[in-house]
């Protein structure tokens, strides 16, 4: 049986592998467009010259600059992006809180102490008819945890605590930032692969440029599928890691198991596929409503992992 630390370490290794793969593809797309741009006679030698800056890799660096700028914009507006489209309330610990709001604030404080988290994420209640939760951010400036009203009303205290520990684990592991970066890299590389074939056409018929254009044409069809499966693989790894992180913080996997079962039953008995007006946060939810290309592992696999076995 694997320990929670081993599960986290294994999924961190998987995450690193996915990120390295993404970066390699991202740079390759830029370099291929640069090869077409300079009308290179030989593909291999042109790639070497671009990588060693003997020829300035203009498109590749522009792609990297665009990625950095878009990431900066997303980071500065992450809370507004994730919360938009729904009514929500901030649970402010500086105010006098009562009832469930007081309980939620107390639970978060308990988790912060138990996990030695050096900052306090903002805590929100989201008005929604379904049971779910999500986290965003990774530091004191942008981190948040949001729970839906239906989840708070239908879970026991220790189950709510497990859900919050799961979301806190996402923040502590830094996978919210990673998922956002991968999504941006993916969109940019697909855009460049699609348009890079046609931007530099006239007079660029040398063998290297033609081969690079052919590779870009192939990638137009291969990349969307490959990118989808990479993102699914990454998202599923991060969910296993957050589940394990929650059980580790609480030193008990049973509350997380019960919470997953209740949330799954809530979705099995109701159709919430059109209930959320904000598609941006869909992949960040604790429970994913998608079926065919779900970004999350099945509930059965998540529970099995929490119990230390595989299905």
Mean pLDDT of 107-127: 94
Of 6 and 186, the one with more pLDDT: 186
The residues annotated as belonging to the active site are 167
Share of residues in the chain with pLDDT > 90 (%) = 37
Q: What is the structure's pLDDT at 60?
A: 92
Of 256 and 226, the one with more pLDDT: 256
**Strand pairing partners for 90?**
124
Does 297 score more than 90 pLDDT? no
State how far the Cα of 128 lies from the Cα of 94, in Å rounded to an integer. 25
Angle at 297 between CA 273 and CA 25, to 5 degrees: 100
State how far the Cα of 132 lies from the Cα of 275, in Å rounded to an integer. 12
Q: Of 128, 173, 177, whose CA–CA distance to 148 is shortest?
A: 128
Kindly report the backbone phi and psi dihedral angles of residue 310, in degrees, each rounded to the nearest multiple of 5, phi listed first: -115, 150
The contacts of residue 197 (CB under 8 Å, 6+ apart) are: 36, 213, 216, 217, 220
Q: What is the structure's pLDDT at 311?
A: 46
Q: Of 79, 3, 19, whose CA–CA distance to 235 is shortest?
A: 19
Q: Of 186, 151, 102, 160, whose CA–CA distance to 263 is shortest?
A: 151
Of 183 and 301, the one with more pLDDT: 301
Does 8 score more than 70 pLDDT? no
**Interior/surface letters 7-29, b for 16+ CB within 10 angstroms, e for the rest:** bbeebbebbeebbeebeebbbbb
Q: What is the structure's pLDDT at 4?
A: 55
State how far the Cα of 146 lies from the Cα of 129, in Å rounded to an integer. 14
Q: What is the structure's pLDDT at 202?
A: 64
Share of residues in the chain with pLDDT > 70 (%) = 91
Q: Of 151, 164, 179, whose CA–CA distance to 284 is shortest?
A: 179
In 3-state terms the chain splits into helix, strand, coil percentages (rounded to 5) of 65, 5, 30
What confidence tens digit (pLDDT) does each residue in 172-230 have?
887 777 777 777 778 888 888 888 777 776 666 788 888 998 898 898 888 888 888 87
């Amino acid at each position: 049986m694997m320990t929670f630390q081993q599960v986290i370490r294994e999924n961190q290794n998987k995450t690193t592998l996915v990120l390295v793969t993404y970066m390699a593809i991202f740079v390759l797309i830029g370099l291929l467009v640069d090869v077409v741009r300079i009308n290179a006679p030989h593909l291999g030698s042109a790639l070497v010259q671009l990588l060693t800056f003997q020829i300035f890799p203009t498109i590749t660096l522009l792609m990297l600059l665009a990625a950095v700028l878009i990431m900066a914009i997303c980071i500065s507006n992450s809370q507004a992006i994730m919360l938009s489209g729904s009514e929500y309330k901030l649970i402010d610990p500086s105010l006098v809180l009562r009832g469930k709001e007081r309980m939620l604030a107390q639970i978060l404080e308990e988790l912060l102490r138990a996990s030695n988290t050096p900052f306090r994420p903002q805590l929100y209640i989201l008005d929604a008819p379904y049971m779910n939760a999500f986290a965003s951010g990774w530091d004191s400036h942008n981190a948040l945890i949001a729970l839906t009203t239906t989840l708070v009303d239908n879970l026991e205290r220790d189950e709510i605590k497990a859900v919050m520990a799961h979301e806190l684990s996402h923040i502590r592991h830094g996978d919210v930032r990673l998922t956002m970066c991968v999504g941006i890299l993916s969109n940019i590389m697909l855009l460049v692969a699609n348009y890079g074939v046609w931007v530099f056409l006239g007079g660029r018929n040398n063998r290297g440029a033609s081969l690079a254009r052919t590779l870009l044409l192939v990638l137009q069809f291969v990349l969307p599928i490959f990118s989808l499966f990479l993102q699914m693989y990454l998202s599923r790894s991060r969910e296993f890691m957050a589940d394990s992180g929650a059980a580790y913080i609480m030193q008990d996997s049973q509350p997380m198991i019960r919470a997953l079962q209740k949330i799954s039953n809530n979705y099995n008995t109701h159709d919430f596929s059109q209930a959320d007006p904000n598609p941006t946060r869909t992949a960040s939810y604790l429970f994913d409503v998608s079926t065919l290309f779900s970004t999350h592992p099945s509930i059965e696999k998540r529970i099995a992992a929490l119990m230390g076995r595989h299905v």
